[in-house]
DNA sequence: ATGGTGACTTGGC
DNA sequence: TGCCAAGCCACCA
């Protein structure tokens, strides 16, 4: 009883796995890339369920205007920012220049 | 079935 | 530039 069709969740994970280091995508963009437009919020809640030891680049997902989704001084926000900086992404005041780092397939 | 919630987005002022 | 209200859609109690 193997499901030949990918679940909507698997579509999101697959799309996320193709986002290159040093680039970012918005929640809505990721949903659209997975063929599921209009589900930005759902993508967010999905990422929240991602296990801590996952190798998927969850940190490359930000808000459409280039802001980190987490509260500014939160540990989660700091972890994400650190990871992005390690990949060369410049972040000033919790904001990323989307025209510069947004990934375009 | 129903109403509240949320790692969102967009448009108005 | 920044805050707000609506729109959005799957999930959950």
pLDDT above 80: residue A3: no
The Cβ of residue A82 has, within 10 Å, a number of other Cβ atoms equal to 11
Residue A94 pLDDT: 85
A66 touches strand B (CB under 7 A): no
A84 touches strand B (CB under 7 A): no
Q: How far is the CA of A64 from the C1' of B4 (A)?
A: 25
Instruction: Indicate the pLDDT class of residue A45, thresholds 50, 70 and 90.
Output: very high
Q: How far is the CA of A67 from the C1' of B2 (A)?
A: 34
Rounded mean pLDDT of chain A? 94
Instruction: Indicate the pLDDT class of residue A2, thresholds 50, 70 and 90.
Output: low
pLDDT above 80: residue A16: yes
pLDDT above 60: residue A1: no
Using DSSP bridges, classify how beta strands A95-96 and A91-92 pair: parallel, antiparallel or unpaired: antiparallel
Phi and psi at residue A88, in whole multiples of 5°?
90, 5
Residue A48 pLDDT: 96
Q: What pLDDT digit, counting tens, does each position of A66-97 carry?
A: 999 999 989 999 999 999 999 999 999 889 99
Closest nt to residue A7, judged CA to C1': C10
Closest nt to residue A70, judged CA to C1': B7
The Cβ of residue A89 has, within 10 Å, a number of other Cβ atoms equal to 20
Alpha-carbon span A5 to A80, nearest angstrom: 32
Helices (H) and strands (E) in chain A, counts: 5, 4
């Amino acid at each position: 009883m193997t499901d030949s069709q990918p679940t909507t969740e698997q579509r999101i994970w697959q799309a996320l796995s193709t986002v290159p280091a040093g680039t970012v995508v918005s929640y809505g963009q990721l949903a659209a890339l997975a063929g599921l437009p209009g589900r930005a919020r759902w993508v967010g809640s999905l990422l929240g369920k991602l296990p801590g030891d996952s190798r998927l680049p969850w940190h490359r997902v930000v808000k459409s205007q280039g802001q980190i989704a987490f509260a500014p001084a939160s540990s989660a926000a700091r972890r994400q920012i650190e990871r992005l900086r390690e990949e060369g992404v410049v972040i000033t005041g919790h904001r990323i220049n989307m025209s510069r780092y947004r990934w375009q397939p």
